[in-house]
Structure 1
């Protein structure tokens, strides 16, 4: 199973992290801005810095959730995800 990079925000800063099953520490990065949404180029640069790259042919997908489970009146949490793999050239 390929690792997944996820990016999330609930209206504040954006956080990108690589979800590594079986690991207690996930590589991550935080943009200290609520807008604009980090571009695909910015995400690619951060992934490379973390030692990962987007799997060729994969695309970012978006979902929304609530910050409080089951409460559709709570603030929305936006989550983007894409399959990644370790970079061929290692971390840059």
Structure 2
């Protein structure tokens, strides 16, 4: 079963990756990169996902979007990516 990994800026502006699960949001597996810039590299994101026990689902590709904020506000980015538990059959 695939789930969605999300890469976003946390409340404090630091990059974090989390896995959207059926559990309440407080229990979602999360990794904080501890920085506001630069955006975590693909290798860093892959390592973070592995550390959380997840891997890329077949054919997965990061999809980026801008979150609406006002015309003069800082742009907020969100990326999503399909993942599965490490070793789980596709």
- Which position in structure 1 is the counterpart of 2:81? 82
Pairing 1:23–2:23 present: yes
- Which position in structure 2 is the counterpart of 1:36? 38
Q: Deviations over 1:5-31 (max 9, x none)?
A: 0000279210100001x2111000111
Return 5+ residue gaps in structure 1 as ranges. none
TM-score with structure 2 setting the length: 0.81
- Deviation at residue 2 of structure 1 after TM alignment: 1.9
Matches within 5 A, 1:29-68: 29-67=31-69
- Deviation at residue 72 of structure 1 after TM alignment: 4.3
Q: Contact between 1:66 and 1:75, CA under 8 Å: does it hold in 2? A: no
Q: How many residues align?
A: 85
Return 5+ residue gaps in structure 2 as ranges. none
- Deviation at residue 73 of structure 1 after TM alignment: 4.2
Structure 1: which 4+ aligned runs deviate by more than 6 Å?
A: none
Q: Deviations over 1:17-69 (max 9, x none)?
A: 0001x2111000111111111011111111011010011321001001135xx
